[in-house]
Amino acid sequence: MPWQSVRILVDSKEAEPLSDALMEAGALSVSLEDADAGTLDETPLFGEPDHPTAELWPRSIAAVLLDEHADVAKTLAIAAKQADIPVPTEYTVEAVAEQDWVRLTQSQFDPIPISPRLWIVPTWHEAPDSHAINLKLDPGLAFGTGSHPTTRLCLRWLDEHLHGGETLLDYGCGSGILAIAAAKLGAARVDGVDIDAQAITASHDNAELNEVRAHFCLPGELAPGQYDVVVANILTNPLKGMAPLLAGRVQSGGRLVLSGILAEQAEEVMAVYREWFVFDPPAIDEGWVRLAGIKQ
């Protein structure tokens, strides 16, 4: 059956109460997104030591799925009254046709060539080149399908710079794709960290799928030590805040690879890390930047 997709602009104080009230009022699902995602005002939510997690984004989008016959205005009025907030006025409504959601989702992820020898292959596809290094991936619920420029930038760096035998830490591992690629490219020991337990599960599953050895854990479970290479594909603000933490994980002469950075933010990130690193020129893909530096 078809549905209605409603996208409502709300502030941080109203987002969660409204979401709960919408579910009670009959919404089929509600999710919250950063209304400023992809802009300079994007606000990451993270929870590293000494960097408390923000409650929510200053401006959020409540993405709501309703039955095709639901009265949108009435539903919003009921939910607003229940949440004791003003009735939202800034929202859009779109019809969502009935579809095979599994096939639709899978159709968005085709095999992705990273280099002549390195491919990302979703589990429902055959590898285009059976002789290449093929990263089998089930995107699941974690970030990191290889389709985003920041992931591609990091994978290209790994493909070009890993020669075998390195130790590597993937900080903010998501689906585990960078750690798994490093293992397939010959890294001797690979660890991955994420604050999301769901990402740890996805990373473990994808490592098993690819028949590689890699250790994934929450930040507090990571053993002390330094690495030849540390990769962090996150966002500008947490990268800046975690500079001492990440720098401390790179051994002298080791390499740091950072991404999740918009091109206009590259200089401010490098300025924070220059206390420890000398950087190569930034690499850019679709307005996103990868930074790579050597620890002095």
Handedness of CA 180, 186, 187, 188 (dihedral sign): positive
The predicted structure's pLDDT at residue 33: 85
State pLDDT tens for residues 128-160. Answer: 888 999 988 865 544 556 678 999 999 999 999
The answer to whether residue 126 sits within a structural domain is: no
Report the distance separating Cα 166 and Cα 176, nearest Å. Answer: 17
pTM: 0.68
Is the model's pLDDT at 120 over the cut of 60?
A: yes
Give the CB-side neighbour count of residue 70, counting CA atoms within 13 A.
26
Which residues, 6+ apart, have CB-to-CB distance to 249 below 8 Å? 169, 171, 225, 226, 227, 230
* pLDDT given for residue 142 in this prediction: 42
Predicted pLDDT of residue 53: 43
Same domain, 162 and 272: yes
Structure tokens at 259: 């991404």
pLDDT per residue over 237-263, tens digit each?
Answer: 999 999 999 999 999 999 999 999 999
Q: Which domain holds residue 40?
A: 3-98
In a domain, 40, yes or no: yes
Q: Structural domain tally of the chain?
A: 2
- Pair 157, 287 in one domain: yes
Question: Rounded distance, CA 227 to CA 237, Å?
Answer: 23
pLDDT confidence of 51, banded at 50, 70, 90?
very low
* Domain match, 274 and 153 both: yes
93/147 same-domain check: no
Q: What is the CATH number of the domain that holds 82?
A: 3.30.70.120
* 279 in Cβ contact with 139 (< 8 Å): no
Same domain for 149 and 291? yes
Average pLDDT over residues 169-192: 96
Mean pLDDT across the chain: 87
* 288 is a domain residue: yes
Any domain includes 285? yes
Could you tell me if residue 115 is inside a domain? no
Residue where one domain finishes, among candidates 72, 98, 124:
98
Query: Is 112 inside any structural domain?
Result: no
